[in-house]
Amino acid sequence: MKALQFMGDSQAALASFPLDAKREAGFELWQVQLGLMPSDFKPMPTVGAGAYEIRIKMQGQWRVIYVAKHLEAVYVLHCFHKTTLKTAKPDIELAAKRYKLIGVQHGKT
């Protein structure tokens, strides 16, 4: 099973989700750690290659953006409460910034 690495404040943001949404996010991330796909997700190519968004519909709309293409870990880039029809530009930009940091850590720029 892959390790789970949270980037920036993504762990604190996930901890702020309502209890049911937090449990669902935890289950979905566990599935990803096992090499499976989450039950409700979409690719996020605007964030980076291999980035995905887990969609949680409990007490509102909640999102977890992650990348699992590296062998050692699943990187959680950003967790947030979605309040608009499309994912807001600042959320995409923050996830993309953290995605690039992972590339730097792996010697890629």
Residues in a beta bridge with 75: 5, 67
Measured in whole angstroms, the distance separating CA 69 from the mean position of its chain's CA atoms is 13
Summarised one tens digit per residue, pLDDT across range 29-45 is: 999 999 999 999 999 99
Query: β-strand 3-6 against 73-82: which pairing, if any?
Result: parallel
Residues of the chain with pLDDT > 90: what percent?
89
pLDDT at residue 108 in the model = 58
Give residue 71's pLDDT band: very low, low, confident or very high (50, 70, 90). confident
109, pLDDT greater than 50:
no
Token pair, residue 19, equals: 């209890």
Round to whole Å and give the CA distance between 64 and 75.
10
Q: What integer is the mean pLDDT of 46-53?
A: 96
**Distance in angstroms between the alpha carbons of the first and the last residue of the chain:** 27
Among 29, 37, 104, smallest CA distance to 73 is for 29
Whether the pTM exceeds 0.85: the reply is: yes
